[in-house]
Structure 1
Amino acid sequence: MNRNSILQYMLKADAVQKNTIAEDIRLSFPTVTQGLKDLEEIGLIKEEGTLKSIGGRKAMSYRCVKDAKVALGLDITRNHINIVMINLAREIMYSRRVRMRIHDKAESYEKLKATIEEFIKESRIPEKKILGLGISLPAIIDETGTKMHALHEQMEISYRLYDIVKKWFSFPIILENDANSAGKAEMNFRGTKRESVYLFVSQTVGGAIIIDGNVFYGKMRRGGEFGHITLYPGGKPCFCGRKGCINAYCATKVLSDMTNDDLNLFFEGLEQKNEKYIKAWNQYLDDLALAIHDLNMAFDSEVIIGGYLGQYIGLYMEELRERVKKLDPFIEDLSFIIPAALKYEASAIGVADVFIEKFISSI
């Protein structure tokens, strides 16, 4: 436990001396000395040199070798893949976004494999340092992280994706739901464990229920499937086969369909006062406000807006909060609605972090 505490501290610190570590995490100097020695022997800590001294012998400083181990995260959406490599401090070392629609055909999987291999090669990180590859996608994933259920119907990916990919590499593979991955990454980035609802708004709508820093999955692994809550009974058709789901009204696809699947282009047009976009945006905010109000009534906790929408919603938070307030005048404090702090690659980071967290806990 002491050694792990030292490592956790060092991952967040710069070059630091033993006495500073001992004071900050309240361990004895001999305990810190032994812990640093152990971590140095397994390549996680290195001597950095001496820091400036105001008198007496200069003390040696130490630094964490953050890239001693790394993990890969692959987020698969309908038309793109996002790949990241993160170090032990959960910092992105390399990332790539590729427009690619995966089909359930051998040549499509070969192209995906080649893209991942090229990414690893360009990173110049030895494969022996890679703890594993996590894959996030809009699907229900079982507790083993190997079996996929209820995949978004517009994605042509085999339900045997795990079996296909695990043959490609020597390191472990795991699958995870994209919204749950993003929710975990968001809470790690914020450094908090408070109860939260993470509303994942991308080409599909999902979410994560965070309790004491952990994702609540539910008995059927369907916890946080907010996109399939009925918003308007008998309304627009959803890809799940029902009508009126939140997904049919609040997915970013509703907006990007107006700009040939380019969400950034929609918001550029919105800023340029495009009347068509303004009308669509006002209706979208009304629908999103209703969805957030329903989540607040169910969970009475902060609602974090992430996914693709999280990159843009910050400029429109007051408009959104005002719409929620009109739905319920008894809500006095609207500060519970907040934009995601981690705005890019959250799903890929979150699923890669499965391996980082496991490794760190083993030290």
Structure 2
Amino acid sequence: MRIDTFYKTESEISYTNRIFQEIYFQKSISKQEISKLLQLSLPTVGQSLKELYTLGIIQKNGYFESTGGRKAEVISVASKAKVAIGVSLLREFITITALDLYGQPIKEKICYISFERSDAYYRAFGKAVNQFIDELKYPDNAILGIGLAVQGLVSQDGQTIISGDLLGYTGTDRSVFQNNIRLPCRLFHDTEVAAYAELWEFPDIQNAVYIALNQNLGGALIVGRQVFHGDGVNSCIIEHMRLIPGGRKCYCGQYGCLDGYCSINSLESDAGMDVNTFFEKLKHSDSHCQEVFDRFLNYLALAINNIRMVIDCEFILAGFLQPYLTQEHLQMLAKKVSSVASFKNMTFSFRRGVHGPNAAARGAALVLISNYIYGL
């Protein structure tokens, strides 16, 4: 599936949808402004507004200041009238989030359920998600659906995990989850929707490489504000770029993949401690941690430079490691990238993601919200 910011052509969008989008992006607007901006008659605008009021997704918020005549009513989106749920499925736990129509978190929860490919797990998974739905206290028809972010490549129709070696669930069908959840769900590749979550926050980004510094590394390529898949669904799987030929064995079966050197798992293994302890000691200038982190950044710099030789764009550093990365760390990384660059005059930039460990769950929900906004 393409995860688009815009996925309908102008001819396919109804007047009501165009008006809803205008209200959504303007945040507050009058009936007269809508008529002027969209070049629609006031009766046409009025009829569409009536439909939107009936749906309960817009509201009146007082009046604008008078410009000499009758005060115009302020119209805005009822942001909490609809919610979308995103679920990120990891080996040891799941993260569940509910977002309003502007992508603001309403409720988030972590449930510690260890993954196994069994009916018992899918029942426990469904029970946790259904309980979360109950706790929201929203009617089912106000929930836009459930996006399941999984660690693996997903078919374009969102029905099947076509490559899931990390958790051993290649070939798993959406139905094993759907049979235990009372609301419609679909599958997404976690790194792709995590990248989408960052796009949502950064409207200025057009092209970028998204690097998810999680327990296992992930990546996504953003081109023209869309996650790029290439001719199949295998684009920008940077975790399996060969960094050290004959190096550490990767879960994919090969040796020397980037995941073995630039993931949280590799950092914890090299340091001999968990990531929280590691960064606490690093903050206090522990020599062992400094050495491990310096080597970690060296590997990451090599990978970034290799990617830059093919794609000239900025990099988003995100994922579970993002909250630990300081501006000083980014400056260190930038110097290391410059030191291995073939062309010293090449410019590049980093920015930190904002969603941290919640990016995948939020991104899965945001795709559903985007589909609703543009498909009303």
TM-score > 0.5 by shorter chain: yes
Amino acid corresponding to residue 76 of structure 1 in structure 2: L
Aligned to 2:305: 293
Cα contact 2:271–2:288 (8 A) shared by 1:
no
Aligned to 2:31: 18
Structure 2 CA distance for aligned equivalents of residues 249 and 102 of structure 1: 25
Structure 2 counterpart of 1:246, from 239, 258, 267: 258
Q: Shift of residue 50 of structure 1?
A: 2.8
More displaced 10-residue stretch of structure 1: 94-103 or 200-209: 94-103
Determine helix, strand or coil for the equivalent of 2:80.
helix
Determine helix, strand or coil for the equivalent of 2:363.
helix
Cα contact 1:69–1:129 (8 A) shared by 2:
yes
Is 1:196 equivalent to 2:208 in the alignment? yes
- The C-alpha deviation readout for 1:90-118, integer Å capped at 9, x for no partner, is 22211112333211233322222221122
Determine helix, strand or coil for the equivalent of 1:67.
coil
Determine helix, strand or coil for the equivalent of 1:290.
helix
Structure 2 counterpart of 1:110, from 123, 129, 143: 123
- The C-alpha deviation readout for 1:251-296, integer Å capped at 9, x for no partner, is 1112234788843332222112222211111110000100111111
- The C-alpha deviation readout for 1:150-206, integer Å capped at 9, x for no partner, is 2143x2557435111111234321111111111122112212461221112211112
Aligned to 1:142: 155
> In percent, how many aligned pairs have the same letter?
27
Aligned to 2:349: 336
TM-score computed with the length of structure 1 as normaliser: 0.90
Amino acid corresponding to residue 369 of structure 2 in structure 1: I
Q: Shift of residue 18 of structure 1?
A: 3.1
Amino acid corresponding to residue 85 of structure 1 in structure 2: A
Cα contact 2:123–2:180 (8 A) shared by 1:
no
Aligned to 1:356: 369
**Gap regions ≥5 residues in structure 2:** 1-12
Evaluate the alpha carbon distance shift between residue 117 and residue 346 of structure 1 in structure 2; reply closer, same or farther with a 3 A threshold: same
Structure 2 counterpart of 1:284, from 286, 296, 300: 296
Cα contact 1:193–1:211 (8 A) shared by 2:
no
TM-score computed with the length of structure 2 as normaliser: 0.87
Structure 2 CA distance for aligned equivalents of residues 95 and 29 of structure 1: 43
**Gap regions ≥5 residues in structure 1:** none
Amino acid corresponding to residue 234 of structure 2 in structure 1: R
Aligned to 1:206: 218
Determine helix, strand or coil for the equivalent of 1:239.
coil
Aligned to 1:60: 73
Cα contact 2:164–2:170 (8 A) shared by 1:
no
Cα contact 1:192–1:213 (8 A) shared by 2:
no
Q: Shift of residue 297 of structure 1?
A: 0.8
Evaluate the alpha carbon distance shift between residue 27 and residue 188 of structure 1 in structure 2; reply closer, same or farther with a 3 A threshold: farther
Determine helix, strand or coil for the equivalent of 1:248.
helix
Aligned to 1:230: 242
Aligned to 2:54: 41
Aligned to 1:303: 315
Structure 1 counterpart of 2:199, from 178, 187, 196: 187
Structure 2 counterpart of 1:327, from 340, 354, 368: 340
Q: Shift of residue 313 of structure 1?
A: 2.5
Q: CA RMSD in A?
A: 2.4
Cα contact 1:19–1:29 (8 A) shared by 2:
no
Amino acid corresponding to residue 262 of structure 2 in structure 1: C
Cα contact 2:58–2:78 (8 A) shared by 1:
yes
